Structure 1
Amino acid sequence: MAAAGKEYIVFASKALSLDRSKMSYSVLVYCSDHACSIKLTNIKYEYNVAYQREPERYTAEEWITDKHALYKGKLNRISGKFRRKTIDFAEELFADAEKKMGGNTEGAKPVVLPLVNEERPVVVDKSESALSVSGKPANVSFVSEGFTQLEEGKVSSTLQRMMQESDLRIQISGNNIDDSDIIWKGLGTMFGKDVAYVSVGKGSAFLKEDKAGEVFALRFSTKPFSQDSVWMVVECAKQGETPDGNRQTIIAEILRIWIK
């Protein structure tokens, strides 16, 4: 037997705000020899974002697997919440089905989604370079003398217009990658955190080298780009990515903003 469903998974609910995503899924039920097994599959999400009218669309395979939702043993702030809520939903669905079918829930195994690789052990890195719970790494900086840190939430409309009109480069911590195939898509908020959205080519060096949670910098320069003309640096931690035609849109939590 097969069935399809839609559900809202809620991340945060407050008096004046509601963070949630629509989730669609398929349920497959296999019955034989007085036994029944249930599979939850084809999971997709629709999440409304601030930078465009249409919602972002993700599949579970590209959004909540170990590769995309974990970094150094910790759940990423954004995709990790999708993973946590999806597994909670699956636990409730299977427990309810077992109860209605008269099954015995004692000693039942925890839910393991087929799309999540639970067989690979996760090693937690407790070194100083590991990402902290707040998402702000230690001892990482992309700026030189002459820059001043901008207060969070103080990016004025004038500065945002200047960012849109600037040449942009992306730089990864710890290597010499300086990718120019990047398009600025704007600022926004997700789960109460300031985020940046950029579009990169699928063949870019950044996509090949960067991992979820790793720190990188967006360097804004007056045109044409030169290191001496960089006037703003936005330090970010990658939280996820989503297809954008022949490109990928990167979603990154903003850690610090520097201005000259």
Structure 2
Amino acid sequence: MMKNLLLILCFFPMLVLAQEEDQSKYMVGAVPEVNGKVVFSQEINAPNLSKDQIFDAILAWANTRFKTDKGNWGMVAYSNKEEGQIACYGNEYIVFADKTFSLDRAKINYRMNFVCTPGKCNVEVTNITYLYPEDSRERLAAEEWITDKQAMNKDQTKLINRIAKFRIKTIDLVESLNEGAQKSLGAQNAPVATTTTTTTQQVAPVQTVATISAAPGDALQGYKRIAPDKIPGNIIKMLSEDWMLITAGNDQQFNPMTASWGGLGNLYNKPVTFCFINPARYTYDIMDKGDTYTLTFYTETYREALNYCGHNSGKDKDKVKEAGLTPITTPSGSKAFSEAWMIIECRKMVSQTINIDGISDPELRKQWAGKAMHKMFIGEILNVWVK
């Protein structure tokens, strides 16, 4: 017994040392900050590949990696082969402990950007937030949670216990994502350069100001313009499951409402959107009087904001502020929100109230008998903006 105890005591310091070595990659500087934002940056070298080859390989990997599966949600939100750029959104679980009667996990949301050039690919993981518990309404931003200042003691020699698990799992996730991208290029052993903390490096802009204006035809800060026929994603899922905001009005008066009815199409040889608004909604009159409007789409991170906008009226409260949304002004002069991953600007072409006599389905006729009918708005797509 004593012999076994001595063996354990002799081996214990080795265990502690190994544990400290294992945590070394999570210590000072492991979470890079760029201009006050947490930005994990990496360069993948693939010297024998062209820009197009790298782009095709990364896009194929991203389409497999970022998809909805087993409670996780993801998508390739933007891709432009000519520019060599790809942007993806991830929303998935990070598991801290999984025991028989206890499951400790959080939802992590993030954006992953790629810029492909001949022989290399620059990768960024940013816009990281957490939901913990996973059904919480309060999002924890990485900048306020896992940085050296937030996650380490004053001497920066140890991780703070309650925060350490978020920092460790985030770093592990970023490492896993980068390894997946590397392997897609056959570049498992390629030299890698990782960005360290700096205050001068420029990153893709993220809207944090109250309002940003642009003249018609100008670019929209923080977004890229794409053609309507390049709109990404499954519009049926994006509406029925993810929802959107219809925002009518201008700087003088505007209001958003959550909607799940609508679609995309082609009318009079123009790319169009169509949506439906009930006359009882505060947005209805603003939409009816105006010329332009926006349809905006969001990641799962902003589910609560959309839910709030769907259950509260802007007639008697500042629901934009209450929902935590940041208004911006589009080139057409309409209003949108910087939290959206995609903004579709529209100009009204046709509006028509749906008459109950035009409903052939008997169940729907019964359901809507005696009720105010929706008005359908069809709008020409002026611009499509994606982050």
Which TM bucket (shorter chain)?
Answer: 0.3 to 0.5
Greater Rg over alpha carbons, structure: 2
Q: Which has the higher helix share?
A: 2
TM-score by length of 1: 0.39
TM-score, normalised with respect to structure 2: 0.27
